[in-house]
């Protein structure tokens, strides 16, 4: 089994076919696929900015969807790969939400930590939101990736090179 990058279209097709309770997503930062050596798709993970506007979207990313065909250890491989990729991209934390009824075994196996059991969500204050998501309490799990990111900002282009300034946070 090998982890490879994939398009959102490919990930959403797999989600539509394999995910038990959630529909395809609208956008992403990146998506990963787990494939057999033969090229057969085993599963996908879609990583995006956090939906909750109270969570720091510059430093934290979220596994929005993860689904597999049921192959052993596939979920753990995808969660671990998503965390490694997010760490290399400079995120300080990665998180995901699972249903209250799910045990979180693959997340524990991948080194993630349970954070909180949330209340039942409601989109009534946002009429354009899709309401076909599972209506139940959800567990938030996370993994710390990097210590605080340096605050580096673009300064100028000089001799075809990007120059950056490092500011104290």
Q: What is the pLDDT of residues 90-117, one digit of tens each?
A: 999 999 988 888 888 899 988 999 988 8
- On whether residue 12 sits in a domain, the answer given is yes
Distance of CA 7 to the CA centre of its chain: 14
Secondary structure class of 118 (helix, strand, coil): coil
- On whether residue 156 sits in a domain, the answer given is no
Burial class (CB in 10 A: 0-12, 13-18, 19+), 167: exposed
Q: In CATH, what number is assigned to the domain containing residue 71?
A: 3.40.630.30
- On whether residue 100 sits in a domain, the answer given is yes
Question: Which pLDDT score, from 0 to 100, does residue 4 have?
Answer: 94
Name the pTM for this structure.
0.77
Secondary structure class of 68 (helix, strand, coil): strand
- On whether residue 155 sits in a domain, the answer given is no
The tokens of 45 are what? 């993970």
- On whether residue 99 sits in a domain, the answer given is yes
- On whether residue 92 sits in a domain, the answer given is yes
Q: Are the C-beta atoms of 97 and 118 separated by less than 8 Å? A: yes
| pLDDT class of 126 with cuts at 50, 70, 90 | low
- On whether residue 73 sits in a domain, the answer given is yes
Q: Average the pLDDT over 35-54 and give the result.
A: 88
Which structural domain, as residue segments, surrounds residue 99? 2-144
Q: Are the C-beta atoms of 29 and 11 separated by less than 8 Å? A: no
Q: Average the pLDDT over 4-9 and give the result.
A: 92
The tokens of 44 are what? 């996908």
Secondary structure class of 75 (helix, strand, coil): helix
DSSP secondary structure code for residue 149 in this structure: P
Q: Among residues 29, 36, 103, 26, which one has the least CA distance to residue 63? A: 29
Domains contained in the chain, number: 1
- On whether residue 154 sits in a domain, the answer given is no
- The Cβ of residue 90 has, within 10 Å, a number of other Cβ atoms equal to 13
Q: Are the C-beta atoms of 153 and 167 separated by less than 8 Å? A: yes
Say yes or no to pLDDT of 77 above 90: yes
Q: Please tell me the distance from the alpha carbon of residue 90 to that of residue 45, in angstroms, as a whole number.
A: 19
Q: Please tell me the distance from the alpha carbon of residue 48 to that of residue 86, in angstroms, as a whole number.
A: 10
């Amino acid at each position: 089994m090998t982890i490879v990058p994939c398009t959102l279209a490919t990930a959403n097709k797999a989600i539509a076919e394999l995910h038990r309770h959630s529909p395809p997503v609208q956008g992403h930062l990146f998506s990963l696929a787990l494939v057999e050596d033969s090229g057969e798709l085993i599963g996908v993970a879609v990583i995006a900015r956090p939906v909750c506007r109270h969570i720091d979207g510059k430093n934290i990313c979220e596994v929005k969807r993860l689904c597999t065909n049921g192959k052993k250890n596939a979920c753990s491989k995808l969660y671990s790969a998503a965390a490694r990729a997010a760490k290399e991209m400079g995120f300080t934390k990665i998180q995901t939400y699972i249903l209250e009824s799910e045990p979180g075994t693959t997340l524990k196996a991948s080194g993630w930590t349970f954070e909180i059991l949330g209340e039942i969500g409601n989109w009534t204050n946002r009429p354009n939101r899709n309401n076909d998501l599972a209506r139940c309490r959800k567990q938030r799990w996370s993994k710390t990736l990097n210590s605080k990111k340096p605050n580096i900002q673009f300064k100028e282009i000089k001799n075809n090179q990007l120059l950056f300034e490092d500011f104290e946070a």
